[in-house]
């Protein structure tokens, strides 16, 4: 990179960092866009700070659902800092609720540990993991490299197996073990165990010692990246590693949600940054109630992360405590008042949301609508906002409120017990909604029912969509001003056509863009 490019990179990154203070909004509690920083405790623990959650029908495999959620916000496209990795003294959970009671019928749990074997207290140390010299299983029952046996659910061995010499399926040449081989080593190697947890059953180990992907600055990046896409027993696949942050917004839109006026240039704050991502793709039948997607198309999804507890005095304290939660995008950031965000992330669960009066009040009487109205030359919609309750707490159905369409409510699941369905904040996905050939970035507001808040695609503009919903759409007329045309129309780096769909991490100059 020449000196001029270096100066541009510094200006680009520096401008983004200076904007952070503005994005934090009024008050002392942080509140960056789309949950990149919500609670004060997350500032000091970026490894556990869940930034975004995406859930959608896989466009190239429509019989599956892909869920993506990201951690470690604001990773600069330079040599990785020590915290640019997954946490080892804790775990990451992804929950699925098919009945609507706010309790998960299925949870996937990731335990990470470093290459020296430290981290996961339940796993045996391993001196040779992760071994990127081992070719990935190529379908069928050949899952022994990650589960300890052909399709086995049993507890696998603690050491990741490898062959002394194996044909590299990507380079067409013989690859030796990782010792001294830059082709398969990573800068800070990590690996993980993946468990599937169902109520009343012991956790099933799906993967053991599966590799975390490389950093963008590493040599032979593409080969290492492919090896981090790991098949799952029973179908599906998963990925963990660094990616380009897919979140995007027009700075004018976020200025509206912070100070009530679009007093900012058309500028995407997140252009320079990478994040660490967890992605999983699973058959829809695994998620649907009773395995029947047609009868029970709606599933609720949320992510949590938990740290090892440091409470040494209370013998009744749990060994791990929740430190972060992410349901439907824009809820924790733009609907929950600042003073409630810590409790939302650290001490709340969808099964008890309906018993939290302050949360219900925040939805029925949103401060965002009052803040936005003057800058949009409009009046706040009439309260209580049952339409926002549909979007964030009950799901959208003709029977649940003024948005008259059957889309994301658990009442659409024929086999669900309606007496047990409760208001709960989560991402809801209708798995029977067809994939849109030409997605609209505003999702439902833009006439595209497959987009946000019916799950969330990587190309959905949730910030502008939320502003329009806060002002009354689609149940009412909304703002008197037309939605502005923005040069920020998608992620800073174009997404891909295959799993995990996110772009590879950026290592080029970090320049703020005004058009793609």
Which neighbouring-strand residues pair with 67?
55, 280
Write the burial class of residue 48 (CB in 10 Å: 0-12 exposed, 13-18 middle, 19+ buried): buried
CA distance 428 to 412: 12
Which pLDDT band, with edges at 50, 70 and 90, does 314 fall under? low
Which pLDDT band, with edges at 50, 70 and 90, does 498 fall under? very high
- 146-150, 306-310, 499-503 — which is least confidently predicted? 146-150
pLDDT at position 55? 99
Q: Model pTM? A: 0.81
The full length of the chain comes to 516
CA distance 311 to 281: 36
More confident residue, 271 or 425: 425
CA distance 461 to 288: 27
Report whether pLDDT(170) > 80: no
Mean pLDDT within 238-259: 87
More confident residue, 52 or 144: 52
Which pLDDT band, with edges at 50, 70 and 90, does 16 fall under? very low
Which pLDDT band, with edges at 50, 70 and 90, does 42 fall under? low
Residue from 411, 422, 445, 417 nearest 297 by CA: 411
More confident residue, 23 or 51: 51
More confident residue, 136 or 429: 429
pLDDT at position 456? 98
Report whether pLDDT(454) > 80: yes
Domain boundary assignment for the chain = 3-470
Which of 162-166, 442-446, 476-480 has maximum average pLDDT?
A: 442-446
Q: CB–CB of 77/271 below 8 Å? A: no
pLDDT at position 56? 99
Three-state DSSP class for residue 205: strand
336-354 tens-digit pLDDT: 888 888 888 888 999 999 9
Question: Which alpha helices (DSSP H) does 408-511 contain, by range?
Answer: 462-470
CA distance 514 to 516: 7
CA distance 193 to 206: 8
Report whether pLDDT(369) > 60: yes
CA distance 108 to 301: 11
Report whether pLDDT(450) > 90: yes
Distances (CA, A) of 172 to 94, 167, 177, 319, 503: 36, 7, 16, 47, 25
CA distance 99 to 324: 23
CA distance 156 to 382: 57
């Amino acid at each position: 990179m020449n000196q001029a490019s270096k100066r541009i990179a510094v200006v680009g990154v520096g401008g983004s960092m200076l904007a952070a203070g503005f994005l934090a909004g009024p008050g002392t509690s942080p509140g960056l866009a789309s949950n990149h920083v919500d609670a004060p405790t997350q500032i000091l623990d970026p490894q556990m700070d869940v930034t975004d959650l995406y859930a959608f029908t896989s466009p190239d495999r429509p019989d599956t659902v892909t869920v993506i959620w990201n951690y470690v916000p604001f990773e600069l496209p330079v040599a990785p800092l020590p915290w640019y990795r997954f946490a080892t003294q804790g775990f990451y959970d992804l929950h699925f609720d098919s009945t609507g009671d706010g309790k998960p019928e299925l949870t996937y749990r990731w335990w990470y540990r470093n290459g020296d074997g430290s981290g996961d207290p339940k796993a045996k140390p391993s001196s040779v993991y992760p071994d990127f010299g081992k070719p990935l299983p190529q379908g069928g029952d050949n899952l022994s490299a990650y589960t300890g046996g052909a399709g086995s659910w049993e507890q696998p061995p603690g050491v990741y197996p490898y062959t002394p010499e194996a044909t590299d399926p990507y380079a067409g040449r013989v690859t030796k073990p990782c010792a001294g081989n830059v082709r398969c080593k990573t800068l800070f190697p990590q690996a993980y165990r993946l468990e599937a947890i169902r109520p009343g059953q012991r956790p099933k180990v799906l993967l053991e010692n599966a590799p975390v992907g490389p950093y963008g600055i590493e040599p032979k990046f593409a080969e290492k990246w492919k090896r981090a896409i790991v098949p799952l027993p029973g179908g599906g696949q998963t990925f963990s590693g660094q990616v380009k942050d897919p979140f995007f917004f027009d700075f004018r839109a976020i200025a509206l949600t912070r100070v009530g006026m679009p007093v900012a240039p058309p500028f995407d704050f997140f252009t320079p940054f990478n994040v660490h991502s967890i992605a999983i793709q699973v058959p829809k039948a695994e998620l649907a109630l009773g395995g029947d997607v047609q009868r029970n198309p709606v599933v609720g999804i949320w992510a949590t992360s938990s740290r090892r507890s440091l409470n040494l005095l209370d013998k009744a304290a749990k060994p791990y405590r929740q430190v972060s939660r992410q349901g439907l995008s824009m809820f924790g950031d733009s609907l929950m008042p600042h003073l409630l965000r810590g409790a939302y992330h650290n001490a709340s669960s969808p099964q008890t949301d309906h018993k939290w009066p302050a949360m219900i009040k925040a939805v029925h009487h949103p401060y965002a609508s009052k803040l936005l109205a003057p800058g949009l030359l409009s009046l706040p919609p009439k309260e209580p906002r049952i339409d926002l309750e549909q979007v964030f707490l009950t799901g959208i159905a003709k029977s649940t409120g003024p948005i008259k369409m059957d889309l994301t409510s658990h009442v659409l699941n024929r086999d669900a017990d309606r007496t047990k369905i409760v208001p709960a904040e989560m991402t809801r996905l209708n798995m029977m909604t067809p994939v849109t050939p030409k997605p609209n970035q505003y999702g439902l507001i833009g006439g595209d029912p497959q987009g946000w808040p019916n799950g969330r695609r990587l190309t959905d503009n949730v910030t502008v969509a939320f502003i329009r919903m806060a002002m009354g759409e689609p149940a009412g007329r909304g703002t008197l001003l037309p939605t502005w045309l923005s040069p920020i129309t998608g992620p800073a780096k174009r997404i891909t056509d295959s799993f995990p769909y996110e772009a590879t991490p950026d290592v080029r100059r970090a320049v703020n863009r005004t058009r793609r």
